[in-house]
A = this chain, B = another copy of it.
Amino acid sequence: MTDQITLYSYWRSSAAYRVRIGLNLKGLRYEIQPVHLLRDGGEQHTPAFRKTNPQGLVPVLEHGNRQLRQSLAILEYLDETWPDRPLLPATARARQRARAIAQAIACDVHPLNNLRVLKYFEHEWHVPQPERDTWVKHWINEGFAAIEEMLGGHLSTGQYCEGEAPTIADCCLVPQVYNARRFGVDIAAYPTIARIEQACLALAAFDLARPERQPDRPE
């Protein structure tokens, strides 16, 4: 297919960051359509964007006339549609492990620390900022401790989370480490995670997907 690819993205959204990495790893050309998650109460809540995604979340990937939602489901779609430079390993066992690491982040860490959750605490429960930050760090540390154990002691951990090529797991790990740093989590406590992040960011596909390299980053 040569259909146009457009990614609805926000520079700091770690779910959008995952998909940017995936698109870059595949070597696909795409346009960024920025959705500013903070301006005017959040552009993701406009009626126009709600048509694109009733969940009011980024990312959304448009491929031709298809509107695709949910970052991990988008990465799977990229892999099925463009099989070269796979985002999933070769065996069912290794794929299961890569997906499980991805989901340990995408299901058990990131959703708890998302913007909409922190806004709920602020506006509904008036939780002070320091407690909100403690909450964020708690879930990152709990998740990273488990992931470090899953990575550090496992024979199939290689230069990347699963083997010697980046997978869907790395697409999730690197944005989560970015988030962790924002909140002052000590990444050195997770040596395997830290090592894999460095290996990933040495690749152009990851480097070009960084928040600070996005067209919608603030000056």
The count of residues in chain A whose C-beta lies closer than 8 Å to any C-beta of chain B is: 46
Most B C-beta atoms less than 10 A away, residue of A56, A117, A131, A138: A117
Instruction: Name A residues whose Cβ lies closer than 8 Å to a Cβ of B.
Output: 53-57, 66, 68-70, 72-74, 76-77, 80-81, 92-93, 95-97, 99-100, 102-104, 106-108, 110-112, 117, 120, 124-125, 127, 131, 135, 138, 143, 145-147, 149-150
The answer to whether A131 and B125 have CB atoms under 8 Å apart is yes
| Stoichiometry, copies per complex | 2
Nearest chain B CB to A6 CB, angstrom units: 16
Nearest chain B CB to A24 CB, angstrom units: 19
Nearest chain B CB to A64 CB, angstrom units: 10
CA distance in complex: A145, B54 (Å):
8
> Given the complex, which residues of B lie within 8 Å of A81, measured CB to CB?
92
CA distance in complex: A150, B144 (Å):
33
> Which of B54, B74, B92, B100 contacts A80 (CB under 8 A)?
B92
CA distance in complex: A74, B99 (Å):
9
The answer to whether B145 and A100 have CB atoms under 8 Å apart is no
Nearest chain B CB to A49 CB, angstrom units: 12
The answer to whether B111 and A73 have CB atoms under 8 Å apart is no
Nearest chain B CB to A126 CB, angstrom units: 11
Nearest chain B CB to A152 CB, angstrom units: 10
> Which of B77, B96, B104, B111 contacts A112 (CB under 8 A)?
B111
CA distance in complex: A95, B124 (Å):
37
> Given the complex, which residues of B lie within 8 Å of A73, measured CB to CB?
96-97, 99-100, 102-103
